[in-house]
Structure 1
């Protein structure tokens, strides 16, 4: 696999949740949805050479998805439960915006995680990076399982408040 194909695959992996959300909003039948999403993946990889890295990849991939969904919808024109082109365009824009906001929130979460210290950082690492249950964490750190669960709830609350604060500061909803 050459470097261009690797880069295309990386970009697609990051964009796929947003593209999938767009497709889900447009294609009601789950079997058709999977087929359309596969067609989009192929189209994205095949047309990756035309992607301009100066622009966001997710928006470009949603543009490719709009074309593929349009092909699907035209083939289903008799079905009364499909959206027109204007609605599809509006959904594409909305999903791209949501994807940008979620991406920013993940960046904020990373910043907030960096602010965890001491026991909070240790508990978070054991629970979410090592996937340990509260009872196993309790044995490791000398606490009860109930106190570990409560401490983890406080850590999650702290992280949620931090992300919300950073979102408000940045003007992200």
Structure 2
């Protein structure tokens, strides 16, 4: 695999959730959606040479997806439940905005997680990375299941407050 293809695949992997959300918002049939998404992936890889790395990749990939979705919709014009071009454009813009917000929220969450003490990190790791229930966590950390559940709730509340504070700071 050459370096251009490797870089295209790397960028596609990061953009795929947003592109998939866009395609899913327009193409309602599961089989058709998977076909369109596969066509988008191929088009992204094939046209990667035209991508300007000075600009964000996700909006560019969504632009490629808009073209593929447009071709799909033109082939389905006889269906009654097909979006017009303006609606598809609005959805593409909305998905880009959500993707940007999501990436910002992840940055904020990373910062907020950094403010927690190690015990809180351990509880979050057991609950969300290892998918353990409070009763199982309680056995591991020598606490009662009720205490674990309450501690997790307090941690989530602190993280939510931190995220809200960072959102307010970012908009000022």
TM-score (norm 1): 0.93
> After superposition, where does 1:80-91 map in structure 2 within 5 Å?
80-91=80-91
**1:171 Cα deviation after fit:** 2.2
- Asked if 1:151 is matched to 2:151, the reply is yes
Greater mean alpha carbon deviation, residues 124-133 or residues 36-45: 124-133
Please name the residue that 2:57 is paired with.
57
1:95 matched to which residue of 2?
A: 95
SS for the counterpart of 1:123 is helix
TM-score by length of 2: 0.93
Q: Distance in 1 between matches of 2:72 and 2:85?
A: 12
Name whichever of 119-128 and 46-55 sits farther off.
Answer: 119-128
Which digits, 9 at most, give the CA deviation of each residue in 1:19-50, with x for residues without a partner?
Answer: 11111111121111111011001111111111
Corresponding position of 1:164: 164
Compute the RMSD of aligned alpha carbons: 1.5
Which ranges of structure 1 fall in alignment gaps of 5 or more residues? none
Structure 2: 5+ residue runs without aligned partners? none
1:127 deviates by: 2.1
- How far apart are the structure 1 equivalents of 2:5 and 2:135? 44
- Paired residues, what number? 172
